Structure 1
């Protein structure tokens, strides 16, 4: 294990053991380096790694602090990992996404509040306007698609699950763009699938919400398999 890894592991243990809590300021650099038995250079490298992981944050002129340790921040690196596998090997990620979002939809059906339900309805109504335009703004459609799924995940009552959904969910944006450009009617079908999910949420039907979400995302997985050879063309545009 490198010295940098030792620093990362040691600070993580401090957080887990309760020696450092969310919002706490790290000890003075030299004192912490002496405690860990590393050089100040190694300590700085470890701190940079912990910042990247979302565990620490540096405040200009004020030192280094433990973050709020919220799931969305800590799991954000999952999205980067998914991006590394954005070719055909991304299919397992889409399968995981389906499992996550299916359960999130079921949980949200029993918990979603009126304001969030109205927000989701507003997103769907906005999509109708997008689809009636000529030409259709495909990128704007993708943004509303992501927003709809984010609202559902936020209402599942489990911040870890919601963070995982957010980390994986937006990683299918390229596939959705490919569908909009090459699969006529796909965006209209997506709207109807979202509308069915919304209606299940509005009636509090958890089973229906799970079924509708699973069916919707199975269609996305099918698109991933079809789009894999052609998605590179999108990056070149």
Structure 2
């Protein structure tokens, strides 16, 4: 293991063990390097790396702190990487969606409350097959995100949100080039909502898989 990687691992262990808590200031560089048995230069490199992925917050003239470690903050780095996607990586993102979103739908079937149902019903009711493609895509994004948020799992919610922005262009292109895409999308959303309303986890998962796989298949054929 490289020295910098070792320094990162040691700091991570301190956070996982609770020795360092969210919002807590790290010991001075000299003290921490001696405590971990690492050079100060290796420690600095580790701190820079952990700052980039939002684990640490370096405040000039004040010190280095552990961040809040909130999911939305930690997933910012992934969101940045996703924004730099290539055409191939869009296909890979859809492959990940095919794994995550059916599971999220199944979980939501058990966890959704009346407020969640109302939000989803409003999204479906206000969809317009005769609207612009951009409006349809925003409807699609809102529908999927509302389901994931209904699971109550913030990490899952932020993860799918970070991937969503990378697939908007593909969704718009499908809406422009594929006949009946708008009506099909709205119909599939209504079917998924019906399964969720009946708390039928297996059906919700199956319908979501078919729904996400539809655009995945189209994108592969169009590539």
Q: TM-score range by the shorter chain?
A: 0.7 to 0.9
Q: CA separation in 1, counterparts of 2:207 and 2:172?
A: 22
- Verify the 8 A CA contact 1:178 1:227 in the aligned structure 2: no
In the superposition, relative to structure 1, how do residues 21 and 210 fare at CA in structure 2: closer, same or farther (>3 Å)?
Answer: same
Matched, 1:106 2:106: yes
- Verify the 8 A CA contact 1:107 1:157 in the aligned structure 2: no
In the superposition, relative to structure 1, how do residues 203 and 11 fare at CA in structure 2: closer, same or farther (>3 Å)?
Answer: same
Instruction: Find the residue that maps to 1:64 and give its secondary structure.
Output: strand
User: Which of 198, 201, 218 does residue 193 from structure 2 map onto?
Assistant: 198
- Verify the 8 A CA contact 1:88 1:225 in the aligned structure 2: no
Q: CA deviation at 1:204?
A: 1.4
Q: Which runs of 5+ in 2 are unaligned?
A: none
Instruction: Find the residue that maps to 1:22 and give its secondary structure.
Output: coil
User: Which of 117, 123, 146 does residue 141 from structure 2 map onto?
Assistant: 146
In the superposition, relative to structure 1, how do residues 205 and 64 fare at CA in structure 2: closer, same or farther (>3 Å)?
Answer: same
Q: CA separation in 2, counterparts of 1:142 and 1:88?
A: 21
Q: CA separation in 2, counterparts of 1:53 and 1:120?
A: 33
Q: CA deviation at 1:12?
A: 0.9
Q: Which runs of 5+ in 1 are unaligned?
A: 229-237
- Verify the 8 A CA contact 1:175 1:223 in the aligned structure 2: no
Q: CA deviation at 1:150?
A: 1.2
Alignment length (residue pairs): 222
In the superposition, relative to structure 1, how do residues 61 and 183 fare at CA in structure 2: closer, same or farther (>3 Å)?
Answer: farther
Q: CA deviation at 1:209?
A: 0.9
- Verify the 8 A CA contact 2:58 2:64 in the aligned structure 1: yes
Q: CA deviation at 1:154?
A: 1.4
Match of 1:214 in 2: 209
| Structure 2 counterparts to residues 114-125 of structure 1, below 5 A | 114-125=114-125
What TM-score, normalized to structure 2?
A: 0.84
